[in-house]
Structure 1
Amino acid sequence: MSTAEDFEAIRKDLIDELCQEENSNASHVALPQKSSGSKDRMCVHLRVRPFTEAEVAQNESQDCVSIENSTSVILKQPQISLGSRYSDRGIGQIAQCFTFTHVYGPETKQVEVFGAVKPLIEDVLNGQNCLVFTYGVTNAGKTYTFQGPDNDMGILPRSLSVLFKSIEGKIYRNMNIKPQRCTDFSRLTEMQVKEEEAIKKSVLHLFKESDQYNESCRHSSLDASEGGSSLKSFGSLGDFAEELKHAEQVAVTGADRIRFSVWVSFCEIYNEALYDLLDLASYKCQKRKALRFAQDAKGNTYVKDLRWIQVSSAEEAYKILKQGRKQQSIASTKINNLSSRSHCTFSVRILHVKNGGLHVTRVTEMSLCDLAGSERNTKTKNAGERLKEAGNINTSLLILGKCINALRHNQISK
């Protein structure tokens, strides 16, 4: 595995991006992976998206990123940058080589990128915790890679389909045990089980109502359209059902004796405040309640009062994901019509149970984070609330760079 000079290149890229000119059509997918040594390493996969029609029309420089091979790229400064102007005066143009775990070119399909994540699903089903997050400048294609449109699904929906395909027939459907705090679980009374069932039913009912409304809108648009032009997807389950048909399985050890109780949560960090995207109160036009972090007795950090919903199928998990997405903070900027204004995390927590639920052997979690993109106001022309959002986004990403640098320091320190 390529270490990208351990974490130094990653750290430099994260921090420098906030203050230097940088190409806007590359996004990162970062995930942990075990190396051949004794220490864990972070894998960083780079995906270079194709230029949009608008960027081509504006003569955006297309030679900033040059793919050398499957693990390396050469970055050159844009022609309009200060460094490029210096090179025109006789000073040599600055070019940097960066090494990644893998580099995906503009022609890469969603299913190919998902291939980097699929081994982690096997890990989480066999007892490990896993984290995947997307990083890049605004409009780099992070959310497309992460969630994708309904007709070309991204990492998250594909992960759900493979996960449930792998534990088909081994799902523990009873809600009498539930994740608690960071790595614990609690046993629920009969009354508490009914409350959990009611919450789940309410969220799924909200999705059903919105899905029916979107279907009616879709048919109305079809009736009014001429020439059969393609329409934007409105969130139908048809594409996901098709994805399930072709989903692969991963190996699960000891599955003959183990059943899996699967719970999901969905939250976002917006303007330095943490919100539950599955909070039913916010769907009723009530003010959203900000959550807070807490620590358990072992010092592990978790989100206090975050809602976890039990799911018994990939379809249920996908419906909850789609419903939560309606609550995400999204706005239009000059360079991105659907810009994520928050960092969101969809988590899948799995209780490994045996003896009919009498014994929980372990609790594992797979967290999938879609980070908001760093922004330069000279390009976005943000003002007011958008400018405040951008400042908070950039600050949090700067802190992320420092965190990664600390991880690197801890790895090389005695």
Structure 2
Amino acid sequence: FVTFRKGKTPRRPGPKKGSNVEKDPVGVYCRIRPLGTEDQECCVEMISNSTIQLHAPDGLKANRNGEFKEMQYSFKKVFGINTTQMELFEDIGRPLVEDLIHSKNGLLFTYGVTGSGKTYTMTGSPGEGGLLPRSLDLLFNSIGPFQAKRFVFKPDDKNGMEIQSQVDALLERQKRDSQQSVPRTPSSRLKADPEFADMISPEEACKCDNVDDDCCYSVFVSYIEIYNNYIYDLLEDAPFDPIRPKWLGGGTPVRNNEFIPPQSKLLREDQNHNMYVAGCMEVEVKSTEEAFEVFWKGQKKRRIANTQLNRESSRSHSVFTVKLAQAPLDADGDHILQDKNQVTVSQLCLVDLAGSERTSRTRAEGSRLREAGNINQSLMTLRTCIEVLRENQMYGTNKMVPYRDSKVTHLFKNYFDGEGKVRMIVCVNPKADDYEESSLVMRFAEMAQEVEVARPVDRPICALAAGRRHRNQAFRDELSRRLEERGNSNNADPGLLNQLIESLPPIPRCELVDPADDQTLPNLIEVLERRHHIRQMITEQFNQTANMLRSKLQQFDSQIGTRETFIQNQQSKISEKDKVILNQRSEIDRLEKKSKTLEYKIDILQKTTDMYEQDKRSLQLELETREQRLQKELSERRRMEQRMQGMVTDTKLKWEKECERRVNAKQLEMQNKLWVKDEKLKQLKAIVTESNSSCSAERPQRPSRERDRDRNMGQKRSASPSPAAPPVRPTHRRSHSCGGEKWVDHKPSTNLDLDTVMQPILPNAIKVSTPNEKALSKCHKYVLRHQELASDGEIETKLIKGDVFKTRGGGQAVQFTDIETLKQENPTAPRYILSSDQSPFSMSFVNPGPRVWRTSGEEQNPH
């Protein structure tokens, strides 16, 4: 976890008010990619070299009621569908590379919707190199003869450069070559990757002319990606992990084939308040092929995925940084000045932003959905920063620009604060499906053009005299030429003519100082005669050689006639062979281009296949993990079920025993109470019987209602009378239902039919389930059958009876007068009675006999 301090990053002290600081607007260009098929609807039209027009699709107009209108947007320059990669580079990339050579920073990034051609514009394809390979080719073609040896310039890991002496650089080179475990810098003699080997044809190679030849240069490249708002180094050496496809960079093996994911990098601020990636690997390269190899090494690790809109959609923002270090030579033009203050470092950042996308169109899920959210969030932060910068410049406000909300804006904040030129290429897909996204991109590009960035100042020129390297090289060339001439003169063979010339005697001195001198003239005459003789011999030798040459020329002239015809025939054959060779070469070139294209497609398919294989392995691993988890859950569930079944069985047996014990106890308690009640009733009945027989004459006659109550009370008692008392036969009240009246028998549908010996039967009755006025008008009596559960668990039926009479309004009314209770008893239920020969507290078990109905009737208050 990284804890950032609150507040803004300290800036350089800005220019005071009134100071003349020149500013340039952000250069925004537009490039339109061709349509995929001719039948697709186009919504972008190129009006001029700097203006395009957006047409809303017809379906969108109908849905929005004409809300979207045709809008025009202006750019610094618009590149149509027929624009070549070379034309795009000459207008955008070449000025940035020239500024890089002159120690000025630059930022170039592509922006647009996913599938609009951003990666193709930045990288290109075989035969059609993009901005990145052409920039590297121009840089190395310009500074190639003036590059320093390896390890003369060395990064100090703090965004700066150090200068080593020639001896230290040689020792470090030998040390690196001797250490096999240390990864070596890619060699320029190695063959480059076939996908990037022929991106730029020799005819398109170019170079800068205004290069300072009194300096030494070294190029360092780095390649990072910003994935889910984390920075990863794509050049970091780490093995690939196929089990964890999330981490395409792999990790360091630990144990049991487990891998540690690559560590994200942090942003730091150097002593000049410039932002850089701490711990990022910077590789020194000496040629375009080396730079291609390093770039392709990181490109293979970049995160891409297959979506509904793009087969190779970039899932991260990639930043390829070219850093150029240069230092002046000494006064002799032989060695680099060992002064760190004289070293200047400039860099060019080539950024390929991931495309904005809508999940409703890509149908992203899981990690793809999270990636799309982070991409859109970072692009929104970039848009917010541009808006705040524009507002501060146009209205004079001092709002804080939210650079820290995203790693992309935080890394490039120095460029927007005036550290170099900023160029943006807006890539547009003209198909109608991308209209809404393209309109948002256009509005952002139009707003970005209004932001101005301070123009970088030129670096000071070294105080030493110019042309030091040239003078030193001219001196070396002249010295080598003289040495070569001297060596040729010592080793030459003069021949016969040279021997004759050398045999000429030298002319002696001809001065006469004494008149008596008689030796000088004879000696002179002798020398002259010898020289004359030698000259005659030279003339004869020359004539012989001339005659021989003349004879040979005559022989050659005689053979010319025959040879001319032969030469003409051979020339005609050669011309025919040349035509065949040209045709074969053109065919070979066509096949080579086709082979390169197929190799490129094969590599793309291989990467896609690898990606699918990784997804397949990850899904299989996840499926196996889930199956194991499911089997574990099923086994755990079976064990739980068995355990619960055992617990339920034990609990059931326990409660069955407890219920049986409680039921037995309750039955004993109830039978005991019934026995006590029956005993008391027997005693009471005996007393009443004796008192009735002895005092019948003395007591007055009771009313008929009291007699009926006594009869019913006697009917309720089931105990037999005492053998000493005479038998009592009370007269029972006849039921009201036995008369000749007509009844309405109201039996609800919820009542149960009881399987008893005696059934309540009502003759002349109209049976209904719900009472109605028609039935009541035909009858005089009414009875309702009501069932409920008694306290001992038996079903109890109540016959609620009443009289039917007419009301004053012409309706029918019922006045209830009587209730009969019918209770069913189980004949198999045990009963406890008291024997006459046992103690009051001893009981015996007997069967009470057949099932009977007990009827109790009471007169109810009619009111």
Is the structural similarity TM-score above 0.5? yes
Q: Secondary structure at the match of 1:61?
A: coil
8 A contact 1:276–1:306 mirrored in 2: yes
Q: CA–CA distance in 1 between the matches of 2:276 and 2:216? A: 25
Q: Secondary structure at the match of 2:129?
A: coil
Which residue in 1 is equivalent to 2:540?
none
8 A contact 1:200–1:310 mirrored in 2: no
Alignment deviations for residues 82-120 of structure 1 (CA, whole Å, 9 cap, x no partner): x55234xxx464121111011111121111111221111
Paired letter, 1:135? Y
Q: CA–CA distance in 1 between the matches of 2:41 and 2:182? A: 49
Closer, same or farther in 2 for the Cα pair 1:72/1:200, shift >3 Å? farther
8 A contact 2:158–2:278 mirrored in 1: no
Which residue in 2 is equivalent to 1:96?
71
Which residue in 2 is equivalent to 1:105?
80
8 A contact 1:203–1:320 mirrored in 2: no
Which residue in 2 is equivalent to 1:11?
none
Q: Secondary structure at the match of 2:141?
A: helix
Closer, same or farther in 2 for the Cα pair 1:256/1:149, shift >3 Å? same
Paired letter, 1:71? S
Deviates more, 1:348-357 or 1:330-339: 348-357
Task: For structure 2, list consecutive stretches of 5 or more residues without a partner in the other structure.
Answer: 1-20, 242-249, 252-260, 330-334, 397-863
Deviates more, 1:181-190 or 1:312-321: 181-190
**Counterpart mapping for 1:70-219 below 5 A:** 70-81=49-60, 83-87=61-65, 91=66, 93-115=68-90, 116-180=92-156, 184-187=160-163, 202=184, 204=186, 211=193
Q: CA–CA distance in 1 between the matches of 2:158 and 2:395? A: 28
Which residue in 2 is equivalent to 1:289?
263
Q: CA–CA distance in 1 between the matches of 2:74 and 2:41? A: 22
- TM-score w.r.t. structure 1 length? 0.76
Max radius of gyration: which structure? 2
Q: Secondary structure at the match of 1:204?
A: coil
Alignment deviations for residues 26-74 of structure 1 (CA, whole Å, 9 cap, x no partner): xxxxxxxxxxx92121111100101113xx5xx5421x11111000111
How far apart are residue 128 of structure 1 and its match? Answer: 0.5
Q: CA–CA distance in 2 between the matches of 1:385 and 1:169? A: 49
Q: CA–CA distance in 1 between the matches of 2:226 and 2:350? A: 14
Closer, same or farther in 2 for the Cα pair 1:393/1:93, shift >3 Å? closer
Paired letter, 1:323? K
Which residue in 2 is equivalent to 1:364?
346
Q: CA–CA distance in 1 between the matches of 2:202 and 2:113? A: 32
Match of 1:41 among 25, 33, 38: 25
Q: Secondary structure at the match of 2:387?
A: helix
Alignment deviations for residues 285-341 of structure 1 (CA, whole Å, 9 cap, x no partner): 422221111112332211000000001111111111111110110111011111111
Q: Secondary structure at the match of 1:85?
A: helix
Q: CA–CA distance in 2 between the matches of 1:330 and 1:208? A: 28
**Match status 1:235 vs 2:235:** no
- TM-score w.r.t. structure 2 length? 0.38
Task: For structure 1, list consecutive stretches of 5 or more residues without a partner in the other structure.
Answer: 1-36, 212-233
8 A contact 2:153–2:162 mirrored in 1: yes
8 A contact 1:334–1:379 mirrored in 2: yes
Paired letter, 1:78? P
Closer, same or farther in 2 for the Cα pair 1:126/1:182, shift >3 Å? farther
Match of 2:279 among 293, 301, 305: 305
Q: Which has the higher strand share?
A: 1
Q: CA–CA distance in 1 between the matches of 2:174 and 2:270? A: 27
Paired letter, 1:249? K
Which residue in 2 is equivalent to 1:216?
none
How far apart are residue 266 of structure 1 and its match? Answer: 0.4
How far apart are residue 279 of structure 1 and its match? Answer: 0.4
Q: CA–CA distance in 2 between the matches of 1:256 and 1:374? A: 45
Paired letter, 1:248? C
Q: Which has the higher helix share?
A: 2
Which residue in 1 is equivalent to 2:754?
none
Which residue in 1 is equivalent to 2:225?
268
How far apart are residue 203 of structure 1 and its match? Answer: 6.1
Match of 1:378 among 346, 360, 369: 360
Q: Among all aligned residue pairs of Structure 1 and Structure 2, give the percentage whose two residues are the same amino acid.
A: 33
Q: CA–CA distance in 1 between the matches of 2:307 and 2:159? A: 39
Closer, same or farther in 2 for the Cα pair 1:170/1:283, shift >3 Å? farther
8 A contact 1:158–1:243 mirrored in 2: no
Which residue in 2 is equivalent to 1:258?
215
